[in-house]
Amino acid sequence: MPAVTFDQVTVAVERDHAPEPKVLLNEVNLRLEERRIGVIGANGSGKSTLLRLVNGLVQPTAGTVSVDGDDTVRAVRKVRRNVGFVFTDPLSQLVMPTGREDVELSLRRGVKNGAERRNKAEAALEGLGLQHLADQSIYELSGGERQLMALAAVLAVNPSVLVLDEPSTLLDLRNRELLRRTLSGLDQQIIMSTHDLDLALEMDRVLVIEQGEVSFDGGPAEAVAAYRALCMDGFQARGPVNQ
Amino acid sequence: MRGHGFLLANYVPGNSLIHRSPLALKFLLVFSCGLASFIIVDWRVSLAVLGGLAGLFLLAGAGLKRLWTAVRPLAAVLLVIGLFQWWQLGAPTAARIVLNILVCVVAASLLTATTPVQSLLDGVVKAATPFRRFGADPERFALTIGIMLRSIPYIAGTFADVRDSARARGLERNPRALILPVFITSVAFARQTGEALAARGLGDAED
């Protein structure tokens, strides 16, 4: 498995009406080598920022992030060839009218020959069992089918690391199950943020992010328990909502 | 989101004569129709050209429904243009102008319905290759066209959604309640698209 390394990583953003920048991630140190890594935490805790750093979509304010030794700032193009990124909403990721066209778009940079590109796209679609949906408008697909189509477009270029930012958030139970089964069959290293704690329990390692820091790092059962405790803590302190 | 309200028809797989025609010829057809819309002065000629193009569209197996889908979003605009021109310049001129616009739309729809987007993009890359010596990146040209094809229906769909929301709140007569959300959503869409392309390494300068 490739090694994704965070070395003293801080991400902070300037705010218009505040004297101090807002710290999204604070001095994070990690070495991620496991095959399935889950990232859980509350909304706004810094999960997406952590994931975006891996693909170079966000750059650290301080510290470095590297994928297999390649710095995500200095070697961003190489990093993006190795790290596929799947967004929460597949509609913001699919930029072509049909799935086949979108998969072929992914391949344009690396495969100049049209016939070869078509064959590779077909293989990528077949790999996820999507060939029967390939020529449908992306708007005619269900949420799960769209998410799988976005995944096919990312996998077509054969990345070694797959980063998924809450891929099941917009999906119903059936589509979530479809996605879960598909992901479990992939060879790539997977780093995925999720609010689906059942999915998190299937990971090899789970990070709990709280206010820009890794508050727990370990096995999935312990991490989920730690996260539940963290969430419940707030309620116990506040008391019942309707009082 | 009603982004499926495509102004231009999606590709329809097929093996018709039009599908097999060289891309350059189809480009030439669209270009000629655009040019002809300035030259034709008789509405009957415009009608004949439109009929011919509609015939080709059906011959390609794209279907009447798809043809109507391509034209329908323009109906209200064409009605306004037609009425205004009728009032200003008379019925024959109004008919000619409306028909010429339809000729352009149907010709463009014929191109997109019979040509896979990737072939269109390959054509753009080929056409833009001579500009490489001036520092242009043909793949970026193609990507821009591809994104344009996707963005127009998305924004049209956004407008439909926003109009419904405004209607539900009794604000359908308030232009701010219509324009501002469409503008904000469009900017957000542009940002998301840019991010998605960057994540896939698309749009970077060539290696």
- Indicate yes or no: CB of A57 within 8 angstroms of CB of B198: yes
- Return d(Cα A89, Cα A149) in angstroms, integer: 12
Residue A98 pLDDT level (bands cut at 50, 70, 90): confident
Question: How does the average pLDDT of chain B come out, rounded?
Answer: 85
Across B91-99, average pLDDT: 93
Query: How buried is residue A173: exposed, middle or buried, by Cβ count under 10 Å (0-12/13-18/19+)?
Result: exposed
Cα–Cα nearest to A109, from B95, B206, B37, B146:
B206
pLDDT in tens, A152-207: 999 999 999 999 999 888 888 888 888 888 888 899 999 999 999 999 999 999 99
The C-alpha of A132 sits at a distance from chain B's nearest C-alpha, in angstroms, of 13
DSSP, collapsed to helix, strand or coil, labels residue B126 as helix
Could you give phi then psi for residue A67, rounded to 5 degrees? Answer: -120, 115
Residue A191 confidence (pLDDT):
96
Write out A41-102 in H/E/C secondary structure: ECCCCCHHHHHHHHHCCCCCCEEEEEECCEECCCCHHHHHHHEEEECCCHHHCCCCCEHHHH
Residue contact A97–B189, C-beta within 8 A: no
pLDDT band at A92 (very low <50, low <70, confident <90, very high): confident
Alpha helices in chain A (DSSP H): 47-55, 76-82, 99-107, 114-127, 143-155, 173-184, 197-200, 220-238
What whole-number percentage of chain A has pLDDT above 70? 96
Provide mean pLDDT across the span B87-108: 93
Q: Tell me if residue A170 falls in helix, strand or coil.
A: coil
- A116-120, B102-106, B159-163: which has the minimum mean pLDDT? B159-163
Which residues of chain A are within 8 Å of residue B4 when distances are taken between CB atoms?
137, 139-140
Average pLDDT over residues B16-29: 91
**Chain mean pLDDT for chain A:** 90
CA gap B134, B126 in Å, rounded: 15
- How many CA within 13 A on the CB side of residue B147? 20
| DSSP letter (8 states) at residue A6 | E
Tokens of A117: 């590109």
For residue A72, the tally of other CB atoms under 10 A from its CB is 27
Interchain pair B10, A154: CB under 8 A? no
Backbone angles phi, psi at B97, to 5 degrees: -65, -45
Q: Which amino acid is at B74?
A: L
pLDDT digits 0-9 by tens, B66-83: 888 888 878 888 999 999
Identify from B19, B118, B150 which residue to disrupt to test chain A contact, counting A C-beta atoms within 10 A and taking the largest count: B118
First to last CA, chain B: 37
Closest chain A residue by Cα to residue B2: A139
Task: Quick: pLDDT tens for A32-56.
Answer: 999 999 999 999 999 999 999 999 9
Best B121, B195, B200 member to test A by mutation, with max A CBs in 10 Å, is B200
- The mean per-residue pLDDT over the stretch B144-161 comes to 80
pLDDT tens by residue, B102-145: 999 999 999 988 988 888 888 888 888 888 888 888 888 888 88
Mutation to test the B interface, candidates A70, A104, A109, A131, most B Cβ within 10 Å: A109
- CA A221 to chain centroid, in Å, comes to 21
**What is the arithmetic mean of pLDDT over A9-27?**
89
Helix (H) or strand (E) holding A22: strand A22-32
Structure confidence at residue A67 (pLDDT): 95
The chain A residue lying nearest B11, using CA atoms, is A135
- B206 pLDDT higher than 60: no
Token code pair at residue B4: 């499926």
Phi, psi of A62 (to 5 degrees): -145, 155
On whether the CB atoms of residues A196 and A173 are closer than 8 A, the answer is no
Over range B5-25, report the average pLDDT: 80
- The phi-psi region of residue A17 (left if phi > 0; otherwise alpha if psi is between -120 and 50; otherwise beta) is alpha
CA distance A49 to A166: 12
Confidence tier at B2 by pLDDT (50, 70, 90): low
What mean pLDDT comes out for the span B137-159?
80
* Gap between the Cα atoms of B116 and B106, Å rounded: 17
The predicted pLDDT at position A236 comes to 64
Instruction: Report the gap between the CA of B80 and the closest CA in chain A (Å).
Output: 30
Q: Do A96 and B197 count as a contact with CB atoms less than 8 A apart? A: no
What type of residue is B45? V
Structure tokens at A88: 């929460």
Q: Is the predicted pLDDT of residue A241 greater than 70, yes or no?
A: no
Tell me whether residues A77 and B204 touch, CB distance under 8 A.
Answer: yes
pLDDT digit string, tens, across residues B36-68: 888 888 999 999 999 999 999 999 988 888 888
Residue with the bigger pLDDT between A22 and A238: it is A22
Closest approach of B138 to chain A, Cα-based (Å) = 11
Mean pLDDT of A130-139: 88
Distance from CA of A214 to the nearest CA of B (A): 24
Which token pair is A203? 């990971």
Tokens of A195: 């609010």
- How far is the CA of B35 from the CAs of B31, B46, B54, in angstroms? 6, 12, 18
What CA–CA distance (Å, rounded) separates B156 from B137? 29
Residue B182 pLDDT exceeds 60? yes
Q: What are the distances in angstroms from CA A144 to CA A25, A225, B48?
A: 31, 28, 46
Name the residue facing B150 among A77, A95, A114 (closest C-beta): A95
Quick one: what percent of chain A has pLDDT higher than 90?
59
- Evaluate whether A221 touches A236 at the Cβ level (below 8 Å): no
Residue B205 confidence class, pLDDT cut points 50, 70, 90: low
pLDDT of residue A72: 94
Are the CB atoms for A111 and A117 separated by under 8 Å? yes
Our CA-based measurement puts residue A77 at a distance from the nearest CA of chain B, in whole angstroms, of 7
CA distances in angstroms from B130 to A109, A110, A177, B31, B137, listed in the order given: 19, 21, 49, 20, 10
How open is the CA angle B73-B195-A10, to the nearest 5 degrees? 150
Given A57, A98, A109, which is nearest B202 (Cβ)? Answer: A109
